[in-house]
Amino acid sequence: MKTKSVLLCLLMLSSFACQNVEYVPGEETTAERDSRMEWWRDARFGMFIHWGLYAVPAGEWGESKNHAEWIRTTAQIPLDTYDQFIDEFNPVKFDADQWVKLAKEAGMKYIVITSKHHDGFCLWDSKHTEFDVMSTPFKRDIMEELSEACEKEDIKMCWYHSIMDWHHPDYLPRRAWEKDRTEEGSDFDNYVGYMKKQLKELLSHYGDIGVLWFDGEWEKTWTGNYGTDLYHYVRGLQPDIIINNRVGVGRSGMAGLTESGEFGGDFGTPEQQIPATGLPGTDWETCMTMNKHWGYNRVDKDFKSTKDLLQKLADIASKGGNFLLNVGPTAEGLFPQESIDRLKAIGSWMDKNGESIYGTTASPFKHLEWGRCTQKAMEESTRLYFHVFDWPESQKLRIPGLGSETIRAFILADPQQYELKITKERDAIIIDLPDNCPDPDNAIVILDIVGDPVIYEAPKIAARTNTFTSELQISLNKTEDISDIRYTRDGSLPNESSQIYNGSFTITETAIISATCFVNNRPISATSSYKYEKVTPLPGRTVIGLKSGLKYNYYEGEWDKVPDYNGLTIKKQGVADNFNLATKEIEENFSIDYQGFIDIEFEGVYTFYLTSDDGSILYIGETELINHDGLHNATELTGEIPLGKGLHSIRISFFEKSGGNMLELAWSGPQFDRQVVKSGILQHLN
């Protein structure tokens, strides 16, 4: 390994000497954790960089142009062929200072780069493998240059590091299509030792690292014990480092939240999505591409607009999360021009409005129809930052349910901070806005209030289902104890004469329930409204000669969606006791089509919950109730349907391509809460 710069070594040694902290597993207090997480929570915005050998083919292989960082497996490239890219990787236009300055100018506070992605190629000078950047024509330690540039610009350097490794001989399992690479003689523990040695390099020679962002933990060889051990190992090397939840197992697919009971690292990792209500009580970060791919794909020009990205940033911050926005550099070492254009435009907005993002916490409001809100505690007040996506034509910004005493309002981008008029109407605060919107993408209106925010949320209207066949019980709930709920059943706005809610009530016809919180006969909350519709159930059938279980046809082949079974060869058929995968003969590249009847004991509306990995479709009678088709991890979709007493035909078509496989059908009905569909009510006709 070549000698690092004297400056970097001195900075590293000085940092470690000042730390003088010994990491002791399990002894971190809440205050210590908050201190460790503080910079990350304040930052809110970071840059993700996916870069490696896969930039050389730039997404193209054969006739396909839809690959990127997964190209070795999505195009099924043999290892010897893929290794040849190492001779072509020569990013002579790479400039670490320029990359870091682009991130800083965009308002980003940290950079997470792929030290090693799933292909196993390393972007630093590693003494534990020849499959690294020093074996390329470039022969420069990219991680060293970036860490030095980040130090100069006060940007946190962070590593993405893949647990999965398609190159290392001891990593298991092999790809299903790698017929020329057997698992014989491989030792996964040896691989884990190799990974730890490389992580020690990354955490010993490049100064303080802000985040270790693991990925690739979903394969069966990686266990919770491995994850917990690796977390403690990394914290032992740098006690203040922050580690994502993908170090462990149990992440709920792309939703990113670790399931209860599993070790979840320091923060959740929603991917390509923003949780509808955030992840309350959990630190989290949405990672997202600017276009369709993480790694560079030369033909992918489907970039999100600057407006979309700015509003996503505001949405994420308003829910208490961080935004990790990806760039996929070219094989020459350049950011795509489309990415540069967006980074500069975001930076221009952040120059004027960054205060509404950095150091803020989640919105006290559950919903604002015109935009989002972030907040920041002041000495004796709170500053509310209203992110206005839709500038009202009336020039009146309505803040529903705010019960706090107001101080002043102004436009953040206004250097004179001209005070805006504030009035009170019914259940809302009204701010008079100027005629001209200061920013059509996201204009920031500040409202300072006394103390902590006091918010009167609209009542929550709840029922077992959204439709019903005979009657439906409705309940109303509120978040405080001082108000009365008044409601109507015809959709009209509740007033001081409307009925007061004193407990759940029953409707027998279609109704629009509207509800508002009142104090002293004055509305203090927004109004919630929901329509519940009476429907006619699908009639049940009587079928003679049924037997227990479901008939199934089993197929083998490679699909990206549920296949059209017409013309396919049935590999096996028989009877299964339930919708499970006990009938499969291989772990990947198969499809099962289940058909039979479900016995409905009580008329009513039933909700079905279909979980699958990969795709599935649920039919009840002639109705396609849930379409969960396509390639995805184990995720759930739901559907409601009114069913009469008796037998109803039921069918699930399922396929699995690669990775884990799972299929489960649960339901809830008028007489019971959610449960897995039991075998005893599933039948078939010979």
Q: What pLDDT score does 9 carry?
A: 41
Cα three-residue angle 55-183-78, rounded to 5 degrees: 30
Beta strands in 241-390 (DSSP E): 242-243, 285-288, 322-327, 371-377, 381-388
Q: What pLDDT score does 325 carry?
A: 98
Spans of all domains in the chain: 30-350, 371-450, 460-534, 546-685
CATH topology of domain 460-534: Immunoglobulin-like (2.60.40)
Residue 358, Cβ density class (10 Å: 0-12 exposed, 13-18 middle, ≥19 buried) = middle
Q: Could you report the per-residue pLDDT of 390-446, keeping only the tens digit for each?
A: 999 999 999 999 999 999 999 999 999 999 999 998 889 999 999 999 999 999 999
Instruction: Answer for the pair 483, 456: CB distance below 8 angstroms, yes or no.
Output: yes
Q: What pLDDT score does 11 carry?
A: 41
Look at residue 8 and tell me whether its pLDDT is greater than 60.
Answer: no
Q: Could you report the per-residue pLDDT of 270-285, keeping only the tens digit for each?
A: 999 999 999 988 999 9
> Sign of dihedral through CA atoms 493, 494, 499, 500?
positive
Q: Could you report the per-residue pLDDT of 159-202, keeping only the tens digit for each?
A: 999 999 999 999 999 998 998 899 999 999 999 999 999 999 99
Instruction: Answer for the pair 106, 151: CB distance below 8 angstroms, yes or no.
Output: no
Look at residue 10 and tell me whether its pLDDT is greater than 90.
Answer: no
Listed in sequence order, the residues at least 6 apart from 404 whose beta carbon sits closer than 8 Å to its beta carbon are 382, 449, 450, 451, 452, 453, 454
pTM summary value: 0.82
Q: Could you report the per-residue pLDDT of 217-271, keeping only the tens digit for each?
A: 999 999 999 999 999 999 999 999 999 999 999 898 888 989 888 889 999 999 9
Q: What pLDDT score does 22 carry?
A: 74
Half-sphere exposure for 661 (CA within 13 Å, toward CB): 20
Give me the residue label for tokens 């940033």. Answer: 313
Q: What pLDDT score does 21 carry?
A: 56
Half-sphere exposure for 277 (CA within 13 Å, toward CB): 5
What average pLDDT score do residues 366-373 get?
95
Look at residue 659 and tell me whether its pLDDT is greater than 80.
Answer: no
Q: What pLDDT score does 235 carry?
A: 97
89 CB neighbour count, 10 Å cutoff: 21
What average pLDDT score do residues 318-344 get?
98
What average pLDDT score do residues 43-70 get?
97
Q: Which contiguous run of DSSP H or E holds residue 428?
A: strand 428-432
Q: Could you report the per-residue pLDDT of 589-643, keeping only the tens digit for each?
A: 999 999 999 999 999 999 999 999 999 999 999 999 999 999 988 889 999 999 9
Look at residue 2 and tell me whether its pLDDT is greater than 60.
Answer: no
Answer yes or no: CATH 2.40.10.340 is held by domain 371-450: no
Main-chain dihedrals φ then ψ at residue 126, nearest 5 degrees: -100, 135
Pairing of strands 672-676, 590-600: unpaired
State the architecture of 546-685 in CATH terms. Answer: Sandwich (2.60)
Q: Could you report the per-residue pLDDT of 99-119, keeping only the tens digit for each?
A: 999 999 999 999 999 999 999
Question: Are both 371-450 and 460-534 of the same fold?
Answer: yes
Angle between helices 337-353 and 96-105 (to 10 degrees): 40
Closest alpha carbon to 358 in 301, 317, 308: 317
- What value does the mean pLDDT of the chain take? 94
Instruction: Name the residue type at position 555.
Output: Y
Q: What pLDDT score does 3 carry?
A: 38
158 CB neighbour count, 10 Å cutoff: 25
With cut-offs at 50, 70 and 90, classify the pLDDT of residue 6: very low
249-284: b (≥16 Cβ within 10 Å) or e = bbbbbebbbbeeeeebbbbbbbbeebbeebbeebbb
Report how far residue 396's alpha carbon sits from residue 409's, in angstroms, rounded to the nearest whole number: 12
Q: Which contiguous run of DSSP H or E holds residue 318?
A: helix 306-318
Question: CATH classification of 30-350, choosing from 3.90.650.10, 3.30.565.10, 3.40.190.10, 3.20.20.80?
Answer: 3.20.20.80
Q: Could you report the per-residue pLDDT of 469-518, keeping only the tens digit for each?
A: 999 999 999 988 889 999 999 999 999 999 999 999 999 999 999 999 99
